Structure 1
Amino acid sequence: MLSAHRAARPLYRLRIGNREVVGPSVTGMDDYFDRVDQPCPPIRFKEPSDEINALREKEKGSWKNLSIDEKKKLYRYSFCQTFSEMEAPTCEGRRLVGSVLMLLSVPLVLYSIAKNTIFGPLPDSLSDEGKKRLVRWYIESRTDPMEGGISSKWDYEKNQWKEKPYLLMKSK
């Protein structure tokens, strides 16, 4: 028997077809769903056929008279999945990891393209030779001789370092 809210909706039967309504729905809509937390959906999974109607009549008697295959057909008439099928692992975790890795690879590819095409080679002043030339220029121009600069660590009379500056120390 249909409740008042179901009978009032003209599209109700068009949406679910001839499937039997077997219980109330949590959402108020008569849609089929497989959920572990609500194991009994409001409508049956399949529409009845002649074979299913015959099995439904047979199930009203003793279930010992039903074969395993018939019991499975009756189950699949009402439900799409078993609990073990619902709880079986899906590939969502792998799909998520793959999506994250693909998204992370996009900026790396863009960086590589930008580094190789847009930006030129590094300036010569960043090489060891360039740093030595820069320090030599600082010494020759006597840059900051009183305030602890590089020129203050150079002995101009002996033409050697008083103490080796941090800039020239090799870090390994």
Structure 2
Amino acid sequence: MLLKGKNRRSSLLANTTRIKCASSYWLLLFVRAEVSDTVDMSRPMYCDRLDIPLPDKPYRDVLTDAEESLKQKEKGPWSQLSREEKIALYRLSFCQTYAEMKKPTGEWKTVIGGIFFFVGFTGLVVWWQRIYVYPPRPRTFDPEWQAMQLQRMLDMRVNPIQGFSAKWDYEKGQWK
């Protein structure tokens, strides 16, 4: 299907944009990611981070009338503010407290569950291979066969100086 006019040009522009992104970032080489809007880093931004205790701007910029009156009340003595008003003022400036930021996420449970899943799956694959893929064990691994082989080596007096035969007492019929 051939595109004509403006549609063809915009499609070509979109494809070249994807190619430029993919060529400039090797990770995006195989990913069809859309280019997101740029963020003006010169403007103040809000972020909750442990290493940045005071963000550039407050959490809430647009305030209601009640919040505006609370902000005016903030300029006075803090001893006249109730506990709830202090918390509300804090929540106007910050989204989370340090305790909330440090709170564990519980992600370790997902990680441990994933590890157990993959270990279990690997165990099932190994079990399946032992039953259906590998040949049966050779008869030479059986204890009866090994006992017969040992008796044969003793009867042949194999390595009588330092080997099996040196440790076997032929007169008593037992190990020395």
- Give 2:175's aligned residue: 164
Could you list the per-position Cα deviations for residues 31-78 of structure 1 after superposition, in whole angstroms to 9, with x for gaps in the alignment? 432233331111222232223223222322333443333322221111
CA–CA distance in structure 1, aligned partners of residues 108 and 43 of structure 2: 31
| Count of residues in correspondence between the two structures | 137
Structure 1 unaligned runs (5+)? 1-9, 16-27, 166-172
Match of 1:44 among 58, 73, 78: 58
Q: What TM-score, normalized by structure 2, do the two folds share?
A: 0.56
Distance change >3 Å, CA 107–CA 129, structure 1 → 2: same
CA–CA distance in structure 2, aligned partners of residues 106 and 29 of structure 1: 50
Distance change >3 Å, CA 113–CA 43, structure 1 → 2: farther
What is the identity percentage for the equivalent residue pairs of Structure 1 and Structure 2? 26
CA–CA distance in structure 1, aligned partners of residues 43 and 128 of structure 2: 53
RMSD: 3.5
- Give 2:158's aligned residue: 144
Q: One-letter code of the match for 2:137?
A: L
CA–CA distance in structure 2, aligned partners of residues 44 and 143 of structure 1: 92
Q: Secondary structure at the match of 1:40?
A: coil
CA contact (8 A) 1:44 1:77 kept: yes
Structure 2 unaligned runs (5+)? 1-37
Q: What TM-score, normalized by structure 1, do the two folds share?
A: 0.57
Q: One-letter code of the match for 2:62?
A: P
**More relative contact order, 1 or 2 (CA 8 Å, 6+ apart):** 1
